[in-house]
Each structure stands twice: as C-alpha cells, then as structure tokens.
A and B are shown apart, each in its own frame.
Chain A
C-alpha cells in the first residue's frame, strides 16, 4: 500500500503556545483515518499545517512522497489535496452549481483573452465544466439543488455541498474538519453513509477530525488521539476505546 500522507514531527507554535507538538502519522492510501481530541487540542491547527495554510515551526509533511512544506495552499490543492472547514464555509452568494465550479478553477483551460473574446475554446470548456459539475452533483444526489443559492440550504445539505465542492478539485486525499459538528443524529448518520459512498466512488483517502465518538469509531480504520498538541495514542477503534490515556484526556468531554 502507498502512503498518501506522512506527517513527520510537525510542530506549530503561536508565540508561547505550542498548538501542535511533534505530531507524526502515516496515512495509507484508501483508508479513512480519524483524528480526535478535546477542544483546543490542536487538530484544526494540524490540518492548517498539512494544507499549507500555516507554515510549521518545524517538521515535514509528505504528500505521496513529496515534501509539501512551504508550498502555497492553492498549489497543494492542485496536487490532489482538498479540505472542508469546521464551520461550513460555502460561497454564500453563489449557487450550489457555481460553488462546485470554483473547484475546477485550478485546472482552468481557457484564459482571460478567451473570456473577453468569447472564443470557441471558452464555450467548449465552460460547457464541459458545467456538465462535469452537474454530474458530480448528480452522483452525490444534490442535482435538484444546483441552481439554489448556497446560503439557502439546510445545514446538513450545506455540509454535503461543501464536501462535493472539495471533490470538484479532484482530490486524492480529502481532509474533513469535524464534518458532523452541529448535526442531529439523523443528519450525522446520513453523513456517515455519504462519506463512505464518496470515498468508494471517488477512490479517495480520507483524513477526518471529529468530536462525535460514535461517528469516528464506526467510520475510521485507524484513529489518532491528540491532547494539548501531543499525540497520545493511535490504533484501531477498539484499542482507542480501551486506552487509559485516552479515557483520561476525554474524561468529561465525551458527549456521545
């Protein structure tokens, strides 16, 4: 099996605060890897380092064998890594379809001159992109929402659109930051199936952060636990559930 993502002792300091402390992990291709930990443990910060939004204080990130530390985030996207955000961040004034279309931006095949002159190339690729976007929406069951404004959708669907938008960038690795946050049990269950399906049909590797224990335990093959920026455990769901360190870190923090 290939290693999709390898974090090698990444450390991220904000002034005096060490948000992530020598975090290492290996994520094999086609697996669903979970990262859990109490609030403020440094999970999102770890994501921001991996996606290039933050430059780590030290350590290395390897993406399919290439070091990506120091690359611009949009460059990393074009290498095949996509993410969603903890608090859903759609382009609220664009339609669902337009939101998806932005995901094709990095492989845009016409230029500004084609745009202004409306050349055949412009029409050809614009049409292609729209068709692909519709297909994508269809495959995730959101086609009927294509022309609605993104801000008008219910919460659960907004999350699905956000994931679909990330898929549009053509990722090999998908990072999801607390995808089930703020969802009711039914929505959470739907989302679980959704992620599973998407993973299979798009042949993805998934790296997700989640607070909801049941969600992670059911979905992930391997789980790492972060506490105060330090990885305190890694293993399969059963191992994690039994680990005394994890139980201590989570005491009073388990709501599931």
Chain B
C-alpha cells in the first residue's frame, strides 16, 4: 500500500470513527444517568435520517434547514420515548426497563418498515458534501473531511455544557447519586429529558452524516452502527463522554484499517466491533476512561 492510500484510509477511518463517537455519546450519557442501555438509540438515529430526507424531498426545505429540523425533531423524539416508555419504569426492576427499550427499538424499526417499506431509499446529498477535495495531489471525499470537524465541534460544545453550565453539572452529579441530587431540589426528570435530547440530537447528526456517506437508507440501518457505537461506549468506559468519543475513533479506525490491510476479512467487518466488545469485557471492563460504575453500593 502506498502512502496516499494509507492517508486516505486514515482519514476515512477517522471520519467513520467520529460517527460512531457521536452515536456512542447518547448511549453513554443515558447509561450514566439512569443506568439503562437504550437499545432504541440506533433506531432513533435511523429516524433522524428519515426526518432529514422528508425535510428535503417532501417539504422542499433547503438542506441546512432540513438537517436542523431533523436534529431538533429527533431530540424531541428521544425525550418523548423516555417520557412515554421509560419514565413509568424508573422504579421498576432494571429488566423491565431493558425489555421496554427493546420493545421501542423493535417498534421504530417495524413502524418505519410498514410506512416506508424495506427497499433502500436514496439520500439526497447536498452538493457541499458531495464533491472531493485535492490536498497536494491526494484526493479525499469532502464528507470524510467535514464529518470529523463537525463531530469534534459538537463534542467541544457538549463538554462545555457538561463542565461549565448548571445543567451539565447536574447531569454529572446525577450519574453519581440520583437521590441526593433530587433532595437538593434539582428537577431530576427535566435533567434526564435534557440528556435524552442531547443524545438523540447527536444521534441525528451522526445519522445524517452516515446517510451522506453511504447515500441510501432503510429502516434497519440503525442496528449495526448502534451496536458498534455501544461497543465504542463500553470501550471508552461507559458513562464517560470523552471515552465514548475516543472509543468511537478507535473502533472506526480499526474497522477501516483491518479491512485495508487484510482484504479477505472484509466480509467480517461487521463482526469486529463485537469482538472488540468481548475483549474489552475480558481485559478492561471499566474501559479506557471509565470508572467502575457498577461498583457495589452497599
């Protein structure tokens, strides 16, 4: 492999990894505050893609308006899912909430299958994202360059919110001790809603850029990236936002690089994340940056 290809693959891997990272943040934040694996998260990302398509194709919005609308609507969907399906089970056993999450996931997938059918739909890629860029003779797709920039921008904004604002601090406090935070007079339900909104918003961002990368979408498209993003969240240390982002980069990069270096393994590329997950659990269950959230609380 020559240097040019390596460079292209590297950029490609970083770009893919930043998508996993964006989606992983939602998993990790929700897990942090209510200890729930939100199985529907990958499907919420899928809905974000359909919102964006609908905005462009059916509502004739300019692409930026359609994307923005999709992000906001997806954030609202995340809040709605939490309020309707998860909140009634806050005090029930953990398994009840997990089962409900699977129910929501299956519901979204099949509802969209019924409404839009299983045939992949083309995703209209705005021309800004469509072209290629030539850097000293090395050609990159625009989207591969833009994606990580957007992702890092959102990550910085999120880190600012988490560490510098009242709400962000409440979110972090919540992941340590919900009862104490409640006693201190914080509106816990609202904070949880904000977490779902942020997570779903970023899932929509990830989804839209995912859709532009492989410009076709279908109702089951959220499953695989969802699973890989979860693996990224665990790899980074579930509960840690920075960890989720780093985990995403690691998984995305290794997926691309393994296939580039060992082409016969290409068919197995969707199995890598799973192996990663197993290895992390075996050797570093607290992840790269996480603390042990599951410590016994006696």
Chain A positions within 8 Å of B, measured between CB atoms, are: 15, 44, 47-48, 53-54, 85-87, 177
A177 CB contact (under 8 Å) in B291, B296, B298: B298
Q: Which 10 A-B residue pairings sit nearest by Cβ, starting from the closest?
A: A44-B298, A53-B296, A85-B298, A48-B298, A86-B298, A48-B296, A15-B291, A177-B298, A53-B298, A47-B298
CA A15 to CA B176, docked complex, whole Å: 14
Contacts beyond the supplied A47-B298, A53-B296, A85-B298: 4 A-B pairs with Cβ under 8 Å? A15-B291, A44-B298, A48-B298, A177-B298
The count of chain B contact residues (Cβ–Cβ below 8 Å) is 3
Q: List 12 A-B contacts (CB under 8 A).
A: A15-B291, A44-B298, A47-B298, A48-B296, A48-B298, A53-B296, A53-B298, A54-B296, A85-B298, A86-B298, A87-B298, A177-B298
**Contact indicator per residue, chain B 267-298, by CB within 8 Å of chain A (1) or not (0):** 00000000000000000000000010000101
Chain B positions within 8 Å of A, measured between CB atoms, are: 291, 296, 298
Q: Closest CB-CB distance, A45 to chain B, in whole Å?
A: 9
A-B contacts at CB below 8 angstroms, number: 12
CA A47 to CA B296, docked complex, whole Å: 12
CA A54 to CA B291, docked complex, whole Å: 15
CA A54 to CA B292, docked complex, whole Å: 12
Q: Closest CB-CB distance, B192 to chain A, in whole Å?
A: 24
CA A48 to CA B296, docked complex, whole Å: 9
> CB-CB < 8 A to B291: which residues of A?
15
> CB-CB < 8 A to A48: which residues of B?
296, 298
Q: Closest CB-CB distance, A16 to chain B, in whole Å?
A: 12
> CB-CB < 8 A to A87: which residues of B?
298
Name the residue of chain B whose CB is nearest to the CB of A85: B298
Name the residue of chain B whose CB is nearest to the CB of A177: B298
Name the residue of chain B whose CB is nearest to the CB of A51: B298
> CB-CB < 8 A to A47: which residues of B?
298
Name the residue of chain A whose CB is nearest to the CB of B296: A53
Q: Closest CB-CB distance, A254 to chain B, in whole Å?
A: 23
Q: Closest CB-CB distance, A140 to chain B, in whole Å?
A: 24
Q: Closest CB-CB distance, B290 to chain A, in whole Å?
A: 12
CA A15 to CA B291, docked complex, whole Å: 9
> CB-CB < 8 A to A85: which residues of B?
298
CA A53 to CA B294, docked complex, whole Å: 13
> CB-CB < 8 A to B298: which residues of A?
44, 47-48, 53, 85-87, 177
CA A216 to CA B298, docked complex, whole Å: 21
CA A87 to CA B291, docked complex, whole Å: 24
> CB-CB < 8 A to B296: which residues of A?
48, 53-54
Q: Closest CB-CB distance, A15 to chain B, in whole Å?
A: 7
CA A76 to CA B296, docked complex, whole Å: 17
Name the residue of chain A whose CB is nearest to the CB of B292: A14
Q: Closest CB-CB distance, A83 to chain B, in whole Å?
A: 9
CA A104 to CA B298, docked complex, whole Å: 23
Q: Closest CB-CB distance, B96 to chain A, in whole Å?
A: 14
CA A86 to CA B291, docked complex, whole Å: 24
CA A44 to CA B295, docked complex, whole Å: 14
CA A44 to CA B297, docked complex, whole Å: 10
> CB-CB < 8 A to A44: which residues of B?
298
CA A48 to CA B295, docked complex, whole Å: 11
Q: Closest CB-CB distance, B203 to chain A, in whole Å?
A: 31
Q: Closest CB-CB distance, A84 to chain B, in whole Å?
A: 10
CA A151 to CA B14, docked complex, whole Å: 53
CA A114 to CA B291, docked complex, whole Å: 42
CA A87 to CA B179, docked complex, whole Å: 15
CA A54 to CA B297, docked complex, whole Å: 11
Q: Closest CB-CB distance, B217 to chain A, in whole Å?
A: 43
Q: Closest CB-CB distance, B281 to chain A, in whole Å?
A: 19
CA A177 to CA B296, docked complex, whole Å: 15
CA A44 to CA B296, docked complex, whole Å: 11
CA A124 to CA B291, docked complex, whole Å: 47
> CB-CB < 8 A to A86: which residues of B?
298
CA A87 to CA B296, docked complex, whole Å: 13
CA A15 to CA B286, docked complex, whole Å: 14
CA A44 to CA B291, docked complex, whole Å: 20
CA A15 to CA B296, docked complex, whole Å: 16
> CB-CB < 8 A to A54: which residues of B?
296
Q: Closest CB-CB distance, A165 to chain B, in whole Å?
A: 16
